Structure 1
Amino acid sequence: MTDIEKHAAELARRLTEARASGVAIPRPPGLDLAMARQVRHACIDMLDREGPVAAYKVSLSTSTWGALPAGRVVEGDARIARETLFDPLLEAEVAFRIDRPIGADPDAAAILDACSVAPAIEVADSRWAGWRPSEAERFVIPDAAQIEADNAMSGWLVVGGPWRPARDMPFDRLDIAIEQDGERRSWGPLREVMGSPVAAVRWLVAEVRKAGRLVEPGHIISSGCPCPQMVTVPATGGCWESVVDGFGRARVIFF
């Protein structure tokens, strides 16, 4: 193992332990994207203790991706202890489930034919010190390398229903929103996700392949959030839903 690989593995270990301990770690000076990618891969390898990779996520803000283990993916209503997270950020997204093999370089038609879709809520969280999106005066926004190294700030993925064939969904005419206790907090049109969530899935499949990994049947892809407003969770918790009108919803309760 080279010195660079040892450094990446050590930083990944510290990030992984921070998630378990609830103690954030300092942001490393001089972290570049090349090193950050190695850290992310090491973080993903360390997720095995929570199960195999079950889902991938698209991070639109920095054009990167992350992975979630089976233990962090919930289908149906979810209950998550707020105290187990640093300062969660909620994003309304459409999740794609890979039902049949899509090949190494699928086009949009292949993705539509092979996938089912459902509303989802991605719970993003960061292990870096200064991650306080709920407190604007204290919030230090992570840079692209810090987001990359922190497995694209992967936290949880909550997938609602119903599952429907992707081929049947008019993505260019659908909006998605986050609601808190029935009140709309943020919304956006799905066409803002790389022109279509299908394009985001195609992009992720290619990026994962470049990294030496595969997207296979059974995997879920969280395709990215088009909602511009940040939605955070107070210490008191509450109920949030991701809603696609006329389609379905996903729900998570923080307690």
Structure 2
Amino acid sequence: MGNKKIGGIIIVHSTFVNHTLYPAYQDVDSLDKAIFPSNISLEEAYTMQHLFTAAKEHNGEKLQGYKISMTSPETQALFDASEPLYGQLTSNRVRNTLSLSKDTAHALIELELVFLVQEELSSEDSIEDILKKTTVAPGLEVPDSRFQDWFPKMSKEQVCIDGAVGGYVCYGSSKKATYEDLDNIQGRLIHNNQIIAQDSSRTVMGHPVKAIEWLLKKLSTQGLSLQPGMFISSGTFIMPKVLAAGTYKGEFDNFGTVTLTISE
């Protein structure tokens, strides 16, 4: 009976992902939050996220990296969460130009450092190992949802299903970094030459590499690891801002600048 129930749940979740969620992703469509499956656990939500990624891969995309959401007490409080969430992103979600009308539905923008994996990473790696096996780049992340009026009005389980509201990532040139290099650096989000937000790397779980450490431990419980060539958008320095047309720059002390151009 238990196996039948589990099998039935997976079929229901797969139907929702393949016939509702993925078409909305493909068509940059907006769905009513009321159609979300109710009363699901976070474990089920991750299963559905992985089904969502599988649907993308079935249609020619490739898993390229991860984003980590809710890496500060402030953002966790918005979604009644006690730990971060991760989302899977495919290769075609790495972009330095976007169209508001064609590429996004309900997008925000965040200021993040992006870690690029040079050697396989697992939960057994220490913080020192993580830094030896990665390089770090200035980054901007564009969270976006398939659901209307989502921020901050969805449950953490709903956010998780939607790839942790996976939108797009943009990053610049990377370099090796030590723990001290990444500690308490200042980042600035600039829109059309005006600073619109700024804060410290300590906003991200006290230190961005701790977010990568969290991700590795979380992935290990699901039999996953990080492979060479993957990226991790490690968590926002700032509260998300609504995405608008124009030119965005992310500036990070000692880590350079990345530029994202948004057309109408």
TM-score by length of 1: 0.88
1:153: how far off?
0.4
Match of 2:139 among 101, 120, 125: 120
Question: Residue 31 of structure 1: CA displacement?
Answer: 3.7
CA-atom RMSD, angstroms? 1.8
Q: Look up the equivalent residue of 1:87 and give its one-letter code.
A: H
Contact 2:117 2:231 in 1 (8 A): yes
Q: 1:50, 1:70 within 8 Å by CA — same for their partners in 2?
A: no
Instruction: Name the count of aligned residue pairs.
Output: 241
1:198-217 equivalent positions in 2, closer than 5 A: 198-217=209-228
Residue 30 of structure 1 pairs with residue 38 of structure 2? yes
Tell me, yes or no, if the aligned pair for 1:15 and 1:43 is still in contact at 8 Å: yes
Given residue 156 of structure 2, which amino acid in structure 1 is its aligned partner?
A
| Contact 1:90/1:231, CA 8 A, preserved across alignment | yes
CA contact 2:122–2:220 (8 Å) conserved in 1: no
Q: 2:251 aligns with which of 235, 239, 243?
A: 243
The correspondence of residues 224-239 of structure 1 with structure 2, limited to 5 A, is: 224-228=235-239, 230-234=240-244, 237-239=245-247
Matches within 5 A, 1:1-12: 2-12=7-17
Consecutive unaligned residues of structure 1, counting only runs of 5 or more, are 134-139
| Aligned mate of 1:142, from 154, 161, 164 | 154
Is 1:47 paired with 2:56?
Answer: yes
In 1, the alpha carbon distance for the partners of 2:106 and 2:180 equals 33
Runs ≥4 residues deviating over 6 A = none
Which whole-Å CA distance do the structure 1 matches of 2:66 and 2:185 have between them?
Answer: 22
Alignment of structure 1 residues 7-156 onto 2, 5 Å: 7-13=12-18, 14-27=20-33, 28=36, 30-32=38-40, 33-48=42-57, 49-60=59-70, 61=76, 62=81, 63-74=84-95, 78-83=96-101, 84-131=103-150, 141-156=153-168
| Structure 2 SS opposite 1:148 | helix
User: Identity, % of aligned pairs?
Assistant: 23
The answer on whether the counterparts of 2:137 and 2:172 sit within 8 Å (CA) in structure 1 is yes
Tell me the distance in 1 between the aligned counterparts of 2:214 and 2:236. 15
Q: Secondary structure at the match of 2:178?
A: helix
CA distance 1:2–1:43, shift in 2 (3 Å): same
Q: Is the 8 A contact 1:118 1:159 kept in 2?
A: yes
AA of the residue aligned to 2:145 = S
**TM-score if structure 2 supplies the norm length?**
0.85
Distance of aligned partners of 1:169 and 1:160 in 2 relative to their CA distance in 1, 3 Å threshold: farther
The DSSP-based 3-state class of the residue aligned with 1:152 is: coil
**CA–CA separation in structure 2 for the residues paired with 1:107 and 1:215:** 14
Check conservation: 1:55, 1:219, Cα contact below 8 A.
Answer: yes
Identify unmatched segments of 5+ residues in structure 2. Answer: 1-5, 71-75
